[in-house]
Structure 1
């Protein structure tokens, strides 16, 4: 028996050494910069083409009006920002960050010798100060645009960040490719990330004051008692109730659990003194980021479930594109992740709690989107209305 244990231990040790060596060898070939820097590569163009296509085809089914809105894209790598789908010519200089209304960047210039689906697109050097459009929404002149890194640079920059955060002995052997695959996924996920930021642009078009207020509310982050263990436990109960409501088998059961969630939320705020600005912080971030998270997942769901939907031909040769077939797995992962957010510091939990309320509203209050962008209407208010109507039999 002792020999068997020694044999197994030796085998596992040898396997571990082989895996470490394989990971180290794989890391030798990790790219340090984008393969194409001064223009959009064909794979990047293909992903952007599919984003415009899926939004125009299914976007207004996800959210009325979003699919028809003229929303260009600003995507950037380590050196250049690119402006794609801008409706006028030439575009005004730079971009304006919301809600600060801070002008950044310089003149946009047509990319010489290249087009995006036959149309002119623009670029500019990123400022030497290090400013970027970031992942959100910006204005180009008066036009709201979605902004995000290119997928290639997202992969490289995240790899660099992981390397910097690791202890020095682990840096050469850490399986970066596997980690990045788990964190970023394939082109399906990237397209839906563009949808997330594009919906922020739509919020800016329809409700610019609300977007500014919701983004400004993040100033309360430093005042929020993230580390309070009792508050984390109360939040865990809330998130557990949201998970249970999402998993409910009937609308009646969904409404009952949604009411329990609302009661738990009210009790938590009273018990921990989270009224006023801190409660508003929760509601604002759920409205801003929860709705965008909802759109991110809903466009994926509809692309997977809509009979006859055909992705853009440009993406057909992309080995990282699964034609949205992985939605059910993605949904299960996101629903499970929500249950792990109670102890997370920062507003990440509001992405999930807001998204979950939006999904519940799809089930309980079909016309909720007509009100959701109106002034002073928050997701929990709409959910209260939905529960009350169910209780009254309407």
Structure 2
């Protein structure tokens, strides 16, 4: 177990700036943090060689292995060698169990070929390396200081979204970061917004709320409000009024500006996002989930799963298509639900992962362990409706957030 040099910095001097906290992280682990900054700065075309055909006729969620992964592996490897990251008995058992479960799913996925196996291992390494890097930072510097890395990476994603928006304006007016989806971008904004509210980072509060609204993600906005209501139950009446007023004012300003100055672009977008038919079918998710239930009832899912990240092969073989909001036939990239994705992919052993997720949500909630609860709960809820835990940047950023949450929980309560 790594000795925590600052057992818990939640009660540390609030005058310490966000940049000073980030500088501490940078000083402790310069190479890994630099590699994460590079990773989040990548353009979509640097990750996806043929962005227009990413999901056409794919049989699994591809890893898109690149030089950026080699940089990440090398830099985090230095942390292992230097002792920044240490794996204790509990960590080793978790990694071993996770690897064993994924390996078992290969039995019915070997026909996909060697490239599928390599992509799956890349996915696993991305998660493990970044997860334990974040956990190591929390052990050494405390939760609040370590969170500064996430916030800086979020700012980088925000800046990349500006360039994406310039290219997409008129086609897709929902903002999102380069190399990520709208849903994943909104999820990161939601977590950062909740952390900023808790830590009183005023500028980050404003940026994250505006960004969250500009994604027009109903799921992430709703989850943010629910989680904040849960958190605010412990606050004094004065603080509740203060925070609710800030949120109400920012929301009102945002709506007024869009309605008066957004023009036809945002008028049509708002109409689409508030369409009763779209909401009632959860943007065709109801149809996708109904097909998933039929696949389960047809006994086409082996007990050990069809292969981790291999659900696109099932979607293709079952010829699942739906009519999108523009009246065009589309084949879904995935089942829009992590329980279906992992349940079909890993079979009965996926219960281990689900058990871990639910356990951590309950533990952090019961013990008022914030912002770890925000992260675990948001991951569980958002991924059950907007599955995003598969593309490179999305895996990296979520692994970082989950590692921060796990680190805080382990330091404070184990």
Query: What is the TM-score of this pair, normalised by structure 1?
Result: 0.27
Higher helix share: 2
Q: Which has the larger radius of gyration?
A: 1
Q: Which has the higher contact order (CA 8 A, sep 6+)?
A: 2
Query: What is the TM-score of this pair, normalised by structure 2?
Result: 0.26
Higher strand share: 1
